[in-house]
Amino acid sequence: MSRWLLLLLFMLPLTGVAIDIKDPLDNPEQQALYERLLKEVRCLVCQNQPIGDSNAPLASDLRREIRNLIEQGQDEQEIRGFLLARYGDFVLYRPRFTAATALLWFAPGLLLLAGFWALWRVVQRRASLPIPDEDEEQAELLAAEARRE
């Protein structure tokens, strides 16, 4: 057990290996924006990774590009617009709210409502069933047992 723990301990530094977040931007607000965008922007080569986690060449190009835009003083909206104009809604993990993405945004709520509706129907149906008389059931069971003996 302790040997496994030791092994896990040795693996711990691996989780800290960040991809080129070397020399942070001078302005801490800009650095925070940079780090936030690294988590929000999808790497289109390895689609289930954000660009901050991916070592694909395209991801590193996009990191460099986003860094440049931040250094030029662009804000989050402008950088999102830059990415959207080139790669479309898919590039952001939280896409804009548009007619095309509305279903995506509403689906969880709609499914939850459908679940509640189904639950309500089941409960209603059960509630209208007659309540079985426990004493009667017990008596029947005892009678059946007596007959068997």
Binding site for other proteins (CB under 8 A): 44-45, 47, 57-58, 61-62, 65, 84-88, 90-91
Give least dist CB 89 to other proteins, A.
8
**Angle, in degrees to the nearest 10, between helices 28-40 and 76-87:** 30
Closest to other proteins by CB, 24 vs 81, is: 81
Which residue type sits at 113?
L
Element (H, E) at 140: helix 134-148
What residues does 41 pair with on adjacent strands?
92
CB of 22 to other proteins, least distance (A): 18
Nearer to other proteins, 35 or 65 (CB): 65
Instruction: Please state the closest distance from residue 94 (CB atom) to other proteins, in A.
Output: 16
**Of residues 15 and 47, the one with the C-beta less far from other proteins:** 47
Q: Is the dihedral of CA 60, 42, 39, 37 positive or negative?
A: positive
